[in-house]
Each structure stands twice: as C-alpha cells, then as structure tokens.
Copies of this chain bind each other. A is one copy, B any other.
Amino acid sequence: MDGFTFSVPIRVRFADTDAQGIAHNSAFLVWFEVARVEYLREFAGGYQALRDHGVEAIVLESFCRYRLPVRFDDELVVHTRCDGLRGARFRYEYAIVRGDETVADGRTEHACVDAVTLRPTRVPGWLADAIREAESA
C-alpha cells in the first residue's frame, strides 16, 4: 500500500467482537502492536533483541480512527511504517484494510526506556539504523 513499508495479515477472532456484532475498539490497538512486533522481527532482529539490550519500547500515545465496522472472521491487512525517530522517540503509522477498503487508520507514539527504571533512553543506534534503512528502501 502506498506510503507503507510493511504489512501483516490479521484474522478477526470471535473474542475480538462485542455485543454490537463488530470488533471492539480496543482490539485495533492489539493489531497495531502485532504489526509493530512483526515489523521489528522483519527489519531489526525482533522486539526481544531490544529487551536483550535492557531496553523496552513503551507506548506514549495511541490514536485510531474507526472508518468501517469490522466483523468476526474478516481478513484484514495491517499496513505500517515507522518514522519520527528523534532521541528516545519514534512513531508508527497504520492503515488497516479489508480488500480495497480502509477500515481503520491510526498512529502510536513510542519511547525507548531503560527496562529497569522505565526512564527514557536514546533509541539504540543499531535499531535507528535498521529502521532508517527499512524506511528508505
């Protein structure tokens, strides 16, 4: 999808739905996270590589726009890209599509933190390099 560097398929689980018969608004944040985890696996050795360096990436902000209802068993694709790297911070943007419809889009803001103190720490050089390389490809 134009403007995105990576994508991951998601099948809507029955547990994701609510009594309105559609996927619950909180499920989309979990799908965003799945896309981030797979992105890091693809381009940067996986999220565990970060943790192995004593670093965690926390979520500072989440935003999601729900454009169309999503239902049980729908096959979705979560497109994502990472940008806005600066100091401890970075951002992911997302578009979730079903066939040729965009059902949701959004973004999450993140900071790297020390795994023990949870205080902000600069994005490790190897990770910043891996993200820049992925995004400029």
A residues with a Cβ closer than 8 A to B are 13-15, 17-22, 24-27, 29-30, 33-34, 37, 46-48, 56, 58-66, 69, 71-73, 108, 118
Hey, which chain B residues are within 8 Å of A60, CB to CB? 65-66
Hey, which chain B residues are within 8 Å of A18, CB to CB? 14-15, 17-19
Hey, which chain B residues are within 8 Å of A61, CB to CB? 63-66
Task: Select A63's contact among B33, B62, B69, B118, beta carbons within 8 Å.
Answer: B62
- Supply 9 A–B pairs (Cβ within 8 Å), ascending by A: A17-B18, A17-B19, A19-B72, A20-B58, A22-B118, A48-B72, A60-B65, A61-B66, A62-B62
Hey, which chain B residues are within 8 Å of A108, CB to CB? 25
In the bound assembly, the distance between CA atoms of A13 and B36 in angstroms comes to 11
In the bound assembly, the distance between CA atoms of A58 and B18 in angstroms comes to 11
